[in-house]
Structure 1
């Protein structure tokens, strides 16, 4: 029987949120999602990956004055943990990273607060982040920020990007030589000897599954045995860059699920925020990850 209410267990290295339906484990104080237990599956995330490479916020940044869309890749790790709300109805936890001048050139000049929320009776959880730049800090460019979840490749084989864009997917192993043949750019790979012969001759490219912001509401993966869906749900696109017709990545071979908040994909440098020295700036992003039984879009 599921227990009543939401429970929070704080350990030296992990924080566990549990509402009887769903259990989410985060590293302490990093704030990286290391485990998601649901519907008899001990962990929906890829157990073969290191704990730091399962469910995480990241960003790409560069110093002020830099050009282009590439930069320094940073998996955001908190340095401090705090409980914001702890009741039977709701648990909210915070993992923060505070910037100071000793980190100049090493970390993006932002205070970052990653939050995770679980509600009573819900088969999903929420996450949001608050990025804050103080006006006395140096400027920077922010090329991309997102959250990524890497699911178990032995469980999740069917991907849904939209009602009319859903299918069984190749394995990540199929992208690696000799099963896969790299093409003109790293994201595009021809499947020459896939594990499942039906995929032979296909080109796999994560950009094939991009969606305009206005249509990017729900996407994710389905495990057939047991019947479990892993869904990234976004109630609004107002915090995404580029407006309603800007395209962003969704899910792709991995099996990987992305919540993209800001990127230069399909647009270039014009959409890269350039925060100047002397400029105060603050941004908040929000999404929900839900799990459902016996559902196919």
Structure 2
């Protein structure tokens, strides 16, 4: 049977999630017969039912809008530009989190993995990355895994890269996105082959990122955080990726790197200020 519109979209999401019609009906508070009629195009559900079905299938809110449009209803979730004044409280909160995470690196990315914001510690990690990879929009996965990015400095690239790629693949499969799928395809061609056996890098609960620096090796763990109750498409798609030290040596080294970066910035600022003083005196 060829399904189109809401019927095809709902069937696609249910199949993707591995949920039966009966299970979906129970979750959404309706009957299996009603779900079957919707998927066969024999029934058009009300707006509230479309939303309940989408929520029950954990459909991203961007795609919930698409389901509503397919059913003939207006979108329920707005999409606000990140720099819109209405999102000022959100931006402030996120910038405080980034600053509070210092001296450990942290970034905020969108659904494609493009950089939205980063703290100074992440800037320290990207020293030496090819400038073209840092031209907006900056793809954080590309910066991490590209040969002109951090890849040559990652000691366990063959293992760690596949943890990154598997997560991206899972996201692209769970919430289909052509651009993300294309990024995965690009990066798969750039990294070493997947190891046949797990390496010795496991800490027992995670695989650390082992990154060489001029001052020593960093062993970092990554965490992902997102807004669980967002009703704005932009906010719902943001992810905070934080890098945490896997040992005390890394914590100490990150603190030293951050202090050194702050000192260099202060010296540069001081030089800039002093260089303006002669002209200032001349004008007085």
Higher strand share: 1
Higher helix share: 2
Q: For CA contacts below 8 A with separation 6 or more, give which structure has more relative contact order.
A: 1
Normalization by structure 1: what TM-score? 0.21
Normalization by structure 2: what TM-score? 0.22
